[in-house]
C-alpha cells in the first residue's frame, strides 16, 4: 500500500477504550482495538490477542483525544505537528498531522470527524 491512499478510522468512547482501522478502498485491511483490559488485532479476518506492549500507553491515558495527553511531555517523546484546523459542529479540531519534523515525515489528514455518533460498545469486542 506504500504510496497509495488509505484511510485511518479511529474510535474512542472513553479513556482507555479505543480502536484503529486502516481502510483501503472499501476494505478494512487492519484493525487494532483495546477493550479496557486487553488489546486485539484483526488481520485477514482473524482476531488475535495483540502484543500488549503496543497498548502500554492505555494504562496512563486520561483523555478521549490523544492530543490532550500529548500536552504532558512526560508521557510522550515523539513530535507530532498539528495544523489546518476546522470546525466540526461545536468542536474545532486539526485536520492534518505530521509525525516528526523531517521533510519526509508521514502526514495524515482527517477527512471526516464524528463525535457521539457512528460508534457503539460493539466496536470494541
The per-residue pLDDT for range 31-83, each reduced to its tens digit, is: 999 988 899 999 888 899 999 988 887 777 777 776 777 777 776 677 888 89
DSSP 55: G
CA 26 to chain centre: 19
What pLDDT is stored for residue 75 in this prediction? Answer: 67
Alpha helices in the chain (DSSP H): 66-70
What is the residue whose three cell numbers read 490477542?
A: 49
Phi/psi at 2 (5° precision): -60, 130
Query: What gap in Å lies between CA 93 and CA 65, rounded to an integer?
Result: 10
Query: Quick one: residue 113, left, alpha or beta (phi over 0 = left, psi -120 to 50 = alpha)?
Result: beta
CA-to-CA separations, 60 to 9, 54, 64, 69, 70, in angstroms, rounded: 22, 13, 12, 9, 12
Average pLDDT, the chain: 82
Amino acid at each position: 500500500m506504500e504510496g497509495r491512499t488509505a484511510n485511518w478510522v479511529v474510535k474512542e468512547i472513553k479513556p482507555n477504550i479505543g480502536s484503529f482501522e486502516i481502510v483501503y478502498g472499501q476494505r478494512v485491511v487492519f484493525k487494532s482495538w483495546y477493550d479496557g483490559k486487553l488489546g486485539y488485532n484483526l488481520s485477514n479476518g482473524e482476531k488475535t490477542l495483540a502484543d500488549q506492549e503496543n497498548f502500554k500507553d492505555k494504562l496512563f491515558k486520561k483523555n478521549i483525544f490523544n492530543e490532550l495527553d500529548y500536552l504532558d511531555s512526560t508521557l510522550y517523546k515523539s513530535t507530532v505537528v498539528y495544523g489546518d484546523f476546522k470546525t466540526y459542529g461545536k468542536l474545532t479540531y486539526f485536520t492534518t498531522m505530521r509525525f516528526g519534523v523531517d521533510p519526509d515525515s508521514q502526514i495524515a489528514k482527517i477527512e471526516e470527524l464524528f463525535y457521539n455518533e457512528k460508534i457503539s460498545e460493539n466496536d470494541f469486542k
